[in-house]
Amino acid sequence: MTELTMTSIVEWSRWQFAMTAIYHYMFVPLTLGLSFMLAIMETLWVRTGKTEWLHAEKFWMKLFAINFAIGIATGLILEFQFGSNWSNYSWFVGDIFGAPLAIEGIFAFFMEATFFAVMFFGWNKVSRRFHLASTWLVFIGSNISALWILVANAWMQNPVGMEFNPLTARNEMADFWAVLGSPTAMSKFFHTVTSAYTLSACFVIGVSAWFILKKRNMEFARKSILLASVFGFFSILVTMFTGDTSAQDVTRHQPMKLAAMEGLNRGGEGADFTIIGIPCKDETLPSERMRTVEYGIAVPKMLSFLGYHDFNAYIPGVEDILNGYTSHEGETYPSVEQRMANGRKAIAALGTYKTAVEAGNDTLAAQSLGTLREHFSDFGYGYLESPDEIIPNIPLVFYSFRIMVGLGMLFVLLFALSWWFARKRAFGKFRFMPYFALICIPCAYIASQCGWIVAEVGRQPWVVQDLMPTHVAITDIASGWVMTTFWMFAVLFTLLLVAEIGIMLSQIKKGPKEA
């Protein structure tokens, strides 16, 4: 395979997976958050007997069902791509990565889909309490489903609880609980799920604001805003807290991602946090991919505090990581060139070990296995051709992070003002509020996508951190097939998105049934 063809396959496979993931995650957050609010609404109806909560739940349930159905289609295609476009990756990590996905499909998704049928079609067919239990189980199932998917993703960011089998060249699970309970997995799960709750709260507030603008279903809109604003406010607080724990995890396990988020070329003790700035190319920098943040406004020593809760902690920059550094915790990391050399030793030792085992040469096999284990932590670096490859797209990660954080601050304001607006019934005095709420719906989706851009683009070139670069993970297939399916999926997903928006708008215009 020529270098040009390999590059084409890698890029088209990456674009296809990214496009599918972006479309899929347009539907997932609303499912996670709305299922929770539906359960709360039905609980209020069962406990109080107030039918306005029942009618509110039935209205939001229609929008939930539309979103849920289309989300399934994109999610299935996303999982199939692991086998079609990323078969080398699936072989390398299948024993670990496949387990959470299997549990998600067999247990969580099955529970979610089963009780969704009872929740949506079971009115007047089952008792109130059984229906309420079904609604809560839909919420639990959808969130457990998210847990297993995020556990699998977290393992890619920080591979733990595994052993490498040199005979099969596969990573095998050695400690299930280490994979499930890793700090990376827990931080990623709670941060992702609570950010999904935040998006759902913005959606409910924004749609309810439309009814206020139209002077329709005013009491329904007021109650929906009250519930969503409280729900969203606590969600965004937890999102911020888990964002802090995620930052500490990234600092320890993915320092290059942190450096890209900050546009930090040269680190040091007491590193500053840039609030806003422009990452620009500087001809004096040693790498073409590096950027210097200009016109920046920074908070002194805040990045060190975010990374280690220590204002004077050492934070490495891009250049430090390339040249080698000693972390704040005293662990020494060699230069990337040295790690590339170590990785090549590990790859060569793997080949020698297999040959020695087949030839029955136990002495050579033992020596090769020792070399492989000694340098396995740098295994993936052996496939790199230049140290610059470990530098992700700094401007994209830098700006995405700031958009995500900035919009998060905006949502705090939205939830506080919305609660006051609905509580005081200030519909005639503050007419800007419904427009502000409507604007926050697309902003919530933008913030959600930016979060995933930071997480996934920031870890490039790794598909498994330090162990497998992206270009090694792909399937050896004709690039034309990947290009063709890319455009097929792009058209299909766009039509699905347009259809969903159209159906949702139609249901919103009909509005809820009045009590």
Which pLDDT tens digit goes with each residue over 306-349? 999 999 999 999 999 999 999 988 899 999 999 999 999 999 99
Q: Is 360 left (phi over 0), alpha (psi -120 to 50) or beta?
A: left
Per-residue pLDDT band for 428 (boundaries 50, 70, 90) equals: low
- What is the average per-residue pLDDT within 79-99? 83
Give residue 322's domain range. 263-326
Question: Region 127-140: what's the mean pLDDT?
Answer: 92
What pLDDT, on the 0 to 100 scale, is given for residue 10?
Answer: 86
pLDDT of residue 332: 92
pLDDT at 6: 54
Do 89 and 32 meet the contact criterion of CB atoms below 8 Å apart? Answer: no
Is residue 278 situated within a structural domain? Answer: yes
Q: Which residue has the tokens 């020494």?
A: 332
Instruction: Tell me, yes or no, whether 366 lies in a domain.
Output: no
Greatest mean pLDDT among 235-239, 263-267, 285-289, 419-423 lies in 235-239
- Compute the mean pLDDT over every residue in the chain, rounded to the nearest whole number: 89
Q: Which ranges in 104-217 belong to alpha helices (H)? A: 109-121, 128-157, 176-180, 183-213
User: Which residue, 282, 286, 284, 262, is CA-closest to 273?
Assistant: 262
Stronger pLDDT, 281 or 470, i.e. the higher one: 470
CA dist 321 and 42 (Å) reads 53
| Residue 319 falls inside a structural domain | yes
pLDDT at site 4: 44
- Position 106 scores a pLDDT of 78
Contact present, 101 and 148 (Cβ < 8 Å): yes
Tell me whether residue 320 is in a domain: yes
Q: Average pLDDT of 346-360?
A: 92
Report yes or no on 227 lying in a domain.
no
Within a domain: 416: no
Helix (H) or strand (E) holding 165: strand 162-165
Give the H/E segment covering residue 30: helix 28-48
Token reading at 333: 């990391």
- 3-class DSSP state for residue 478? coil
Q: In this structure, is residue 503 part of a structural domain? A: no
Is 435 part of any domain? Answer: no
Confirm if 334 and 320 have CB atoms less than 8 A apart.
Answer: no
* Domain total of the chain: 1
- pTM surpassing 0.85? yes
The rounded Cα 460 to chain-centroid distance in angstroms is: 14
For residue 265, pLDDT over 70 is answered with: yes
